[in-house]
Amino acid sequence: MPSSNKSNYRVVIPSINNSKTVLSYDLFDKSTLVVPKDQYSDYKTEYGSKSVYCYPEGCTHLYEVRNWIRSHFTEEWIFMVDDNVDVMMRMYPQKNTRERNIESSSIVTEIIERTIEATSSYGAYLFGFSESTTHNHYDVFNPVSTFGFVSTKAFGIHKDMEFQFKGDHLQGHWMTGINAFKYRKFYIDNRYAFRKLRGTISRTPESEWEKLHDAFGKNLFKKKESCENDILNKVL
């Protein structure tokens, strides 16, 4: 059972070929960059040696880097964020303002710590935030979900969750599926969302969807055929 020690965590940002523009670095009071060894000096120049770690040369894929992060750092919780996430947003309306972006790193950090505390108290091993950044998708009657899809763009995972990332495709889907079947509990705070700038779109091969459906059945994840990306209906 996760403890409710909200300070026992680390924010980790895997990054490659992006030393000048790690957008997510300044979102938090403190974060750690994990980068290739041959790019260490570039990142160190920008962010300082205390903030930058090198992953082993044998890690040539993102899923291998994610697994190394989980095995290397000893904190109870790892909050992993993509390097092209540029802002945390409030999804709920506030009085007297239309501003939704959270500009203060201390507020973002406080939200992460409160979420860790709530997730731990609930007994879950995985947490995330709203997948949608469209404000009119927010449901005031459903501020927190205890089931649903957790994206790898920004997620918290407990050290005791038994899971290994495998393959370059559908990493969030495998993580969500394993958690659904093995642990049954999620904590998703729909009041907030992390916005990720669009990167290179690579369509997921049909064979990868078949592997996912073979493992979990076709009702857990359903692909929307009309979308250019592989966007899902999340059904748990």
- In order of their start, the domains of the chain are 9-197 (3.90.550.10)
Q: Which residue has the higher pLDDT, 119 or 215?
A: 119
Residue 6 has pLDDT above 70, yes or no: no
Could you report the per-residue pLDDT of 51-83, keeping only the tens digit for each? 999 999 999 999 999 999 999 999 999 999 999
Q: Which residue has the higher pLDDT, 193 or 230?
A: 193
Q: What residue type is 56 in one-letter code?
A: P
- Whole-prediction pTM value? 0.89
Beta bridge partners of 85: 196
88: its two tokens: 């945390």
Could you report the per-residue pLDDT of 106-161, keeping only the tens digit for each? 999 999 999 999 999 999 999 999 999 988 889 999 999 999 999 999 999 999 99
Task: Give how far the C-alpha of residue 138 lies from the chain's centroid of Cα atoms, to the nearest Å.
Answer: 19
Q: How far apart are CA 69 and CA 79, in angstroms?
A: 10
Q: How far apart are CA 139 and CA 78, in angstroms?
A: 28
Could you report the per-residue pLDDT of 15-63, keeping only the tens digit for each? 999 999 999 999 999 999 999 999 999 999 999 988 999 999 999 999 9
Q: How far apart are CA 155 and CA 168, in angstroms?
A: 17
Q: Are strands 77-81 and 9-14 parallel, antiparallel or unpaired?
A: parallel
29: its two tokens: 């009071």
Residues whose CB is less than 8 angstroms from the CB of residue 35 and which lie 6 or more positions away in sequence, other chains included: 14, 15, 16, 19, 43, 52, 53, 54, 55
Q: What residue type is 124 in one-letter code?
A: A
Residue 156 phi, psi dihedral angles, 5° rounding: -115, 135
